[in-house]
Amino acid sequence: MISRTKIVCTVGPSVNSPEMIDALIKAGMNVARLNFSHGTHETHGEMIKMLKAARKKAQVPLAIMLDTKGPEMRIGKIKGEKLPLKKGDTFWFVKEQVEGDKDQITLNPSCIFGVLEKGTVVLLDDGYLLTRVVEVSEKGVKVEVDNDGVLRSGKSANIPNVEIPLPPLTEKDVEDIRFGCKHDIDIIAASFIRSADHVVEIKKLLEEEDKPEIQIIAKIESSSGVNHFDSIVQVADGIMVARGDLGVEVPLEQVPRLQKMMIRKCYYAGKISVTATQMLESMISHPRPTRAETSDVANAIYDSTSAVMLSGETAAGDFPIEATTVMKTIIDEAEKDFNYYEFLKVTSQRVFPDVPSSVALASVRSAYSSNAKAIFAFSTSGSTARLLSRFRPQMPIIAMTPRRKVYNQLALSWGVVPILYREASTIEEAFKQISAFALEKGYVKYGDLVIITAGSPFGKPGTTNMMIVDNIGDVLVRGSEGYGRRINGQVAFLTAHDSRKDYEIQGKIVVINRCNEDYLPVLENVSGVILQNNIDDIESETYLKKAAKRIDLPIILRAE
Which amino acids are annotated catalytic?
A: 33, 74, 219, 277
The answer to whether 457 and 463 are in contact (CB under 8 A) is: yes
Which amino acid appears at position 465 of this protein? Answer: N
What are the residues whose beta carbons fall under 8 Å from the beta carbon of 445, sequence distance 6 or more?
A: 373, 439, 472
Looking at residue 100, the DSSP 8-state letter turns out to be B
HEC letters along 4-29? CCEEEEECCHHHCCHHHHHHHHHHCC
Q: How many CA atoms lie within 13 A of 179 on its CB side?
A: 20
Cα distance between residue 216 and residue 224, in whole Å? 18
What 3-state class would DSSP assign to 407?
helix
Buried b (16+ CB within 10 A) or exposed e, 133-172: beeeeeebbbbebbeebebebebbbbbeebebebebbbee
The answer to whether 511 and 530 are in contact (CB under 8 A) is: yes
In 3D space, the residue among 95, 73, 97, 80 whose CA is nearest the CA of residue 150 turns out to be 80
Specify which residues 131 forms β-bridges with. 122, 145
Cα distance between residue 336 and residue 343, in whole Å? 14
Cα distance between residue 218 and residue 235, in whole Å? 9
How many residues are listed for the chain in this entry?
Answer: 560
What are the residues whose beta carbons fall under 8 Å from the beta carbon of 10, sequence distance 6 or more?
A: 33, 34, 35, 67, 309, 310, 311, 312, 313, 314, 315
- CA 535 to chain CA centroid, Å, is 52
What 3-state class would DSSP assign to 292?
helix
Looking at residue 114, the DSSP 8-state letter turns out to be G
Buried b (16+ CB within 10 A) or exposed e, 446-463: eebbbbbbbbeebbeeeb
The answer to whether 106 and 76 are in contact (CB under 8 A) is: yes
C-alpha dist (Å) from residue 208 to 170, 199, 224, 491: 17, 14, 27, 62
DSSP class per residue in 239-265:
EEEEHHHHHHHS-GGGHHHHHHHHHHH
Which amino acid appears at position 494 of this protein? Answer: L
